[in-house]
A and B are shown apart, each in its own frame.
Chain A
Amino acid sequence: MRLPVLLAALVAVATCTETFVGHQVLRVVPQSHEELQKVQELQDLEHLQLDFWLAPRGLGLPVDIRVPFPSVQAVKAHLEASGVSYSIMIEDVQALLDEEQVEMLRSSRQLPLDTDTFNYEAYHTIDEIYNFMDMLVAENPNLVSKLEIGRSTENRPLYVLKFSTGGTNRPAIWIDTGIHSREWVTQASGVWFAKKIVQDHANNEGVASILKTMDIFLEIVTNPDGFAFTHTTNRLWRKTRSKHSGSICVGVDPNRNWDAGFGEAGASGNPCTETYQGPYPNSEPEVKSIVDFVKSHGNIKAFVSIHSYSQLLLYPYGYTTTPAPDQQELHEVSAKAVAALSSLYGTQYKYGSIITTIYRASGTTVDWTYNQGIKYSFTFELRDTGRYGFLLPAKQILPTAEETWLALKVIMEHARDNAY
């Protein structure tokens, strides 16, 4: 009879599989000498295999006992029969141990448990950012939802966060980051913007007033295939990862693929170049999904596409020198936005139309959105001006996001106060 038990014990020891399934931790606070004595009696019952985490010390002092599963009924019966009250501190010790294991693994890999422990001052992988989005939605289900607007060439989901306090198809603001995958400070800023919107709303400050009448859409990883590639293979990859027939070269410049001056000067027809426009407008699913979204929404009033680097705030056009009809207003808004940005850390920005300020570029995002009637169409080029360029040190993420947010607020407030 004893042999199987001995064998089992040996096996358990050999494989380190001591288990605490069903073990409970009970707490007794003896109020009288009789109660204290009843508890002390338990200590002598060796066969119960009780483990006193807090031994009996005196009246009014807690006694904590880990009770193995086979003894639980007996111990409870003993206490109840003597009229000694107890509480169950831990229902199942193994469950708690399992949870702790998970948490320990998480913290050793530094996985955040929520958006408050997320590290905004570091660059993250696509999985970490997608996990962040899910946590944000889970923590704020009444404000934030996640929309899948399409799939990338490599079949990665294209996610947009929607921030809304209600209404139906309210006038909206769109912000995208990471359309060029190597511009890492933009995705990192996008993550910070998402959290900031939630915080402002909770504290009823900042953009809370905007959310009363408008929705905000935020696409953080606009080019997920490119972004994954910058992590695994080439940190300085810019384009999508599509393969179009007739070339060994990969990728289309998603900021030359829009249907505004498509294929004209300011883009390249050579698939092996960084500004390759693609075989036709919206050939890239990353672009087409936004086009479809904007058209079907029909009520977007401001559209901001964020890039780095150069420290510029730009408005249409890039494909033509003809000034945009709203040039003057856009210029004034830009001046105000840049002033707000600079007020925080003194970062200097230039502003103007794309073609006069940076270079001729055709098929760009905001030229298309502007021609769709979205008057407040802007492109940012964030920090820096070339010292680190795309490889901006992580410690600049926070100041960059903070100052950019001030400029974004100017644009959002203007859109709210100048309905059209």
Chain B
Amino acid sequence: DIDDVGHKYYLELELEDVLDKDRAVSCTAEVLYPLGSRTSAPDVQLTVQGELRSTEEADKEFYNRIRSLEKELVAENIPDSHGNVPPELEPIHLLAWVASGYVSWQNSTENTKFHLAQVKHVKQVKRSDEDLQFDYVLLLHEMVSQELLPWEVTVLWHPQHGARVSQ
């Protein structure tokens, strides 16, 4: 407890690579949940101890594939009712997780737990600059209330510049 400020948590985390189960990276984090009814995002300081796997090749392949599409990519219900994700949409799914992480962070309190339930809709928007743009409608599942919250998020992504999220 930090008087008049909020609650601070000290965390030791293990980051597991979903695509490479044998890889785990240790992290430490400090999370400060602010006091008061004004909902603002918790302050997060993260230190990654170790290296994240390089995804340069896969990034480049995905970037080139999307850039070379004649028609803008459009998809919905990822995964579908049976849990399927078509292989070519897997990177779109992963990018959605990044976006949902941002939304979760912005809306987290000490009494929320968010997971991405489903990508309801995604539409690529072609840009004149080098970024890829995807407009998502995400369904976020909140564990305590059990609610499914739709969120519209726009994600910009580039192999060297990473992902940037705007709501």
Considering the chains assembled together, what is the distance between the CA atoms of A132 and B147 in angstroms? 32
Is the CB–CB distance between B147 and A393 below 8 Å?
no
Which chain A residues lie closer than 8 Å to B118 at the CB level? 235-236, 391
Considering the chains assembled together, what is the distance between the CA atoms of A391 and B141 in angstroms? 12
Is the CB–CB distance between B139 and A275 below 8 Å?
no
Is the CB–CB distance between A275 and B117 below 8 Å?
no
Q: How far is the CB of A65 from chain B (nearest CB, A)?
A: 51
Chain A residue nearest to B84 (CB atoms) is A393
Chain A residue nearest to B114 (CB atoms) is A386
Q: How far is the CB of B146 from chain A (nearest CB, A)?
A: 4
Which chain A residues lie closer than 8 Å to B115 at the CB level? 386, 389
Q: Within A251-303, which residues are at the interface with B (CB < 8 Å)?
A: 253, 268, 273-275
Q: How far is the CB of B110 from chain A (nearest CB, A)?
A: 12
Is the CB–CB distance between B84 and A238 below 8 Å?
no
A143 within 8 A of B: no
Is the CB–CB distance between B147 and A274 below 8 Å?
yes
Considering the chains assembled together, what is the distance between the CA atoms of A393 and B84 in angstroms? 6
Q: Within B117-165, which residues are at the interface with A (CB < 8 Å)?
A: 117-118, 139, 141, 143-148
B83 within 8 A of A: yes
Considering the chains assembled together, what is the distance between the CA atoms of A123 and B81 in angstroms? 9
Chain A residue nearest to B146 (CB atoms) is A274
Is the CB–CB distance between A274 and B145 below 8 Å?
yes
Is the CB–CB distance between A236 and B139 below 8 Å?
yes
Q: Mark B27-67, 1 if CB is under 8 A from A, else 0.
A: 00000000000000000000000000000000000000000
A208 within 8 A of B: no
Considering the chains assembled together, what is the distance between the CA atoms of A230 and B82 in angstroms? 11
Is the CB–CB distance between A235 and B147 below 8 Å?
no
Q: Within A224-264, which residues are at the interface with B (CB < 8 Å)?
A: 230-231, 235-236, 238, 253
Which chain B residues lie closer than 8 Å to A391 at the CB level? 79-83, 117-118
Considering the chains assembled together, what is the distance between the CA atoms of A281 and B26 in angstroms? 47
Considering the chains assembled together, what is the distance between the CA atoms of A236 and B79 in angstroms? 12
Q: How far is the CB of B58 from chain A (nearest CB, A)?
A: 19
Which chain B residues lie closer than 8 Å to A253 at the CB level? 146
Is the CB–CB distance between A389 and B141 below 8 Å?
yes
Which chain A residues lie closer than 8 Å to B143 at the CB level? 310, 358-359
Considering the chains assembled together, what is the distance between the CA atoms of A390 and B84 in angstroms? 12
**B residues bordering A, Cβ < 8 Å?**
18, 77, 79-84, 115-118, 139, 141, 143-148
18 interchain pairs, CB-CB under 8 A: A122-B82, A123-B82, A184-B81, A231-B81, A235-B81, A236-B117, A238-B146, A274-B146, A274-B148, A275-B145, A389-B116, A390-B141, A391-B79, A391-B81, A392-B83, A393-B82, A393-B83, A394-B84
